[in-house]
Amino acid sequence: MEINPSESTRMLIPDDLLAQVASLAQEAGEFLLSCQANVVANEKDGAHNLVTQADIDCERMVCQRLQGLLPGSKFLREEEASDGDGNSAALWVIDPLDGTNNFVHGIPQFCVSIGLALAGQLELGVVYDPNRRELFTAQRGQGARLNGQLIQVSQRPDLQHSVIGTGFYYDRGDLVTRTLAAIQRLFDEPIRGIRRFGSAALDLCWVACGRYDGYFEYRLGPWDYTAGALIVQEAGGRCSDRDGQALRVDSGNVIASSPQIHADLVRIVAYSR
């Protein structure tokens, strides 16, 4: 399923679907804040990859409500079993809590991320940051917004003036070595700075509103970047996979940036380099 907001088949969806999903994401984000007083972290896959009851409860609540908004829709989600893929007529791609390590450590950088693809075409993206009360939304062909105001990717002309975000998957092997090597190459360029804040969906939204000029991460789940990728593209940015090819829901990695620096960023951080 290619993530490319071009004009093609558009399934009939309610006019106010974006508003309803946005309000659900806000409710889910406020729920996460309310869980912070009592966080119990369990290890999913080693000590780095955590899950809390808040991840699970939030995902259940969000999926139940989304099913009501679009009956018959399928889910690609992080915590419970998925029942859909890129061929589904309507597919919700959900990360109920992106930034679980931050959440567990009391670091206020996490969000709720909800994307919708219709017959393989991304249609809606909603990301809510409850700590800043920032709501990022996009609908295909209608631009991207932050708290209702249209947003645009950075206008900075080149990598030298750029701040680039990145992230490390939970795997501690080759991916870390390659990510650190790519960061070194970026510093050699040189760039203005590197950031690693720990929520891929917010990293993408920060590209969309021009805080970061670009962002890359070598391994992700579809729920980490599907909504954010539409928000970046609708804000005028470019997204590709880690080798500069078309981004797909199953790519499992991303390079996102303003159009001005995308080719240079891909040249420097391409995984296959």
Query: For binding to ligand IPD (CB under 6 A), which residues are involved?
Result: 95, 98-101, 167-169, 198-200, 217, 220, 224
Residue 185 CB, nearest approach to ligand IPD (Å): 19
Contacts of 224 (CB under 8 A, 6+ apart): 95, 98, 113, 200, 201, 217
Nearer to ligand IPD, 120 or 198 (CB): 198
Give the C-alpha separation, 126 to 22, whole Å: 6
Nearer to ligand IPD, 198 or 214 (CB): 198
Query: Roughly what angle, to the nearest 10 degrees, separates helices 174-188 and 259-269?
Result: 120
Residue 98 CB, nearest approach to ligand IPD (Å): 4
Give the C-alpha separation, 182 to 31, whole Å: 37
| Residue 78 makes contact with Ca ion by CB under 5 A | yes
β-bridge mates for residue 114, sequence order: 94, 126
| Residue 217 makes contact with Ca ion by CB under 5 A | no
Partner whose footprint covers residue 241, from ligand IPD, Ca ion, none (CB < 5 to 8 Å by kind): none
Which residue's Cβ has the minimum distance to ligand IPD?
A: 167
Residue 244 CB, nearest approach to ligand IPD (Å): 20
Interface residues for Ca ion in 79-108 (CB under 5 A)?
95, 97-98
Residue 137 CB, nearest approach to Ca ion (Å): 19
- Residue 123, classified by CB atoms within 10 Å of its CB into exposed (0-12), middle (13-18) or buried (19+), is buried
The full length of the chain comes to 273
H or E stretch including 111?
A: strand 111-118
Residues near Ca ion, by CB under 5 A: 78, 95, 97-98, 224
